[in-house]
Amino acid sequence: MKKHFQRRVKRHPVQLPVAELNGQPVQDTLVVDISSLGARLETTTPLAPRNPVEFVLSLPGRPGSLRLTGTVVWMRPRLDQPGRFQMGVQFYTPHWELESLVAQSGLTP
């Protein structure tokens, strides 16, 4: 039985490449949705729940990059793509500005 709950903030579906994951350059990691409180990443580098995570990404139309930090709250393999994993990250502190940054970058449908 699936649990239903009210989300506190809106998640935005995106396809943003991650340039760096835990201090290491990566080319195979994406942010697939993001909110002010967290993000869902898809990667070949699985991190177990409760591990700290830091990642760097750029938003189109915005100079510079964003460095976001948090904790992995869940991780599961992609059954349709062996060797790839999705993980949920809860940010240490809310990034309320992400809501407007994502909207301004034209990433939301």
Q: What is the pLDDT of residues 61-84, one digit of tens each?
A: 778 889 999 999 999 999 999 999
> Band of the pLDDT at 30, cuts 50, 70, 90?
very high
CA dist 16 → 33, 49, 82 (Å): 9, 22, 21
User: What is the pTM (predicted TM-score) of this model?
Assistant: 0.86
pLDDT at position 106 is 66
- Round to whole Å and give the CA distance between 86 and 28: 12
Mean pLDDT of 105-109: 61
More confident residue, 100 or 85: 85
CA angle at 18 for the pair 71 and 27, rounded to the nearest 5°: 125
CATH architecture group of domain 12-104: Beta Barrel (2.40)
- Round to whole Å and give the CA distance between 90 and 6: 16
* Tokens coding 37: 């409180």
pLDDT at position 98 is 83
